[in-house]
Amino acid sequence: MVIQVKNLVKRYGDLVALDHLSFDVAEGEIFGLLGPNGSGKTTAINCILSLLSYDKGSVEIFGKPMRPDAYDIKRDIGVVMQNVAVFDELTVCENIDYFCGLYVPEKARRKKLVEEAISFVGLENFRSFYPKKLSGGLLRRLNIACGTAHRPKLIILDEPTVAVDPQSRNNILEGIQNLNREGATVVYTSHYMEEVEQICSRIVILDKGRVIADGTKEELKDMISLGEKITVETSLVTPEQIAALRVLPGIASAEFNDKTLVVKSEKGKSGLEEVLDFLRKQNIAFGRIYSELPTLNDVFLEITGKELRD
């Protein structure tokens, strides 16, 4: 295991930020830590990195206990903080060189790594720019380059795409997958379920400092009782028609609100054919119709009773 977290407890006065948190990260994984704001993701990362002291539990990285002075472990970790953490007075190239230099003292090797990091995040045309001249997306890329230029074995990214435009977000996510393909184990925290679904091979969902679900995205979705969600745009559906729809085989629920009919099928069932057949028989005119497979939000909703984005 690259990371082993056991029974981690972190309290801020009466508030329990991490409540006996335990999980493992295996080598070569892109491990997603998913949870709403305030669920304890960043606190967990800071405890794992020994930035924060904790009340109970243990953290092992590369099979050794993680401590603030465990420099042999730190040498193989790259961290991309939630906020951009660079020097405004240094250029793009100088910033990457400075942070890389904290890990790689040899100048020649560092020069090569810095160049690779610049091309990796696509900042070739901005190497002599100062951070204040960069857009939000480019700044995020610089932030990633500063944290990963030294080619660490373990990369921890704490919400690296917050306030980033879609194009830069895609670049960042592709970059993370490339780092993983090149051999790095990645820990990725986010409250964007789409991102986590897109890149993570294993996901832990956190709520109130506790692990509420752990597995691959397929395993997580398999945990819930619902199947597909069918959404139909239609002007009118009577309560009697809704009641009739609910008793159809394979249909778990049906609701009509604001000219939108939402039908959820039972686990493992599609329900689309049944719904289309019902609409035709009942002469219900409809516009757009589309079906979605369960998302991680549905998983979170079913387990906690609230939306992931709340």
Partner 1 sequence: MFAHIFTARLKCLLRDRGLVFWTLLFPILLALFFKMGFSNLNTADSFRPIPVAVVNDAQYRRNAPFRQALQSASEGKGRLFTLTVTTKGNADELLKENKIYGYLTAGSPVEVTVRSAGYEQSILKSFADSYLQTYSAASYLIGKNPAAAAGLAESLQSRRDFTESLPSGGGASDNTTLYFYSLVAMACLYGSFWGMKEVVDIQADLSQRAARVNVAPVHKMKVFFSGVTAVFLVNFAEILVLLVFLRFALGIGFGGKTGLVVLTALVGTVTGIFFGSFVGAAVKAGEGAKVGILIGLSMLGSALAGMMYEGIKYVIQQHAPLLGYLNPVNLVADAFYCLYSFSGYGRYALDLTILAGFILFFGAGTYLIIRRQSYASL
Positions that interact with partner 1 (CB under 8 A): 12, 46, 49-53, 68-69, 71-72, 74-75, 77, 79, 81-87, 89-90, 94, 97-99, 101-103, 105, 146-147
- Within 102-192, where are the H helices? 107-120, 136-148, 166-181
Residue 244: exposure state from Cβ atoms within 10 A (0-12, 13-18, ≥19)? middle
Closer CB to partner 1, 51 or 243, in the complex: 51
What are the distances in angstroms from CA 136 to CA 47, 91, 98, 119, 167?
A: 28, 16, 21, 18, 12
CB 83 → partner 1: shortest distance, Å? Answer: 5
DSSP codes of every residue in 21-50: EEEEE-TT-EEEEE--TTSSHHHHHHHHTT
Closer CB to partner 1, 138 or 146, in the complex: 146
CB 201 → partner 1: shortest distance, Å? Answer: 24
Closer CB to partner 1, 85 or 243, in the complex: 85
CB count, 10 Å around CB of 31? 23
The angle at the Cα of 61, spanning 58 to 67, to the nearest 5 degrees, equals: 60
Closer CB to partner 1, 77 or 299, in the complex: 77
CB 82 → partner 1: shortest distance, Å? Answer: 8
Strand partners, 58: 6
Helix pair angle (107-120, 136-148), 10° resolution: 140
Closer CB to partner 1, 101 or 215, in the complex: 101
CB 105 → partner 1: shortest distance, Å? Answer: 6
From CA 26, how far away is CA 157, in angstroms rounded?
A: 16
From CA 222, how far away is CA 215, in angstroms rounded?
A: 10
CB 145 → partner 1: shortest distance, Å? Answer: 12
Q: Which of 183, 161, 171 is nearest to 76 (CA)?
A: 183
CB 294 → partner 1: shortest distance, Å? Answer: 35
Closer CB to partner 1, 52 or 284, in the complex: 52
From CA 305, how far away is CA 299, in angstroms rounded?
A: 10
The pair phi, psi for residue 34, each rounded to 5°, is: -110, 140
Closer CB to partner 1, 145 or 308, in the complex: 145
The pair phi, psi for residue 256, each rounded to 5°, is: -125, 120
Closer CB to partner 1, 79 or 186, in the complex: 79
CB 68 → partner 1: shortest distance, Å? Answer: 3
CB 89 → partner 1: shortest distance, Å? Answer: 4
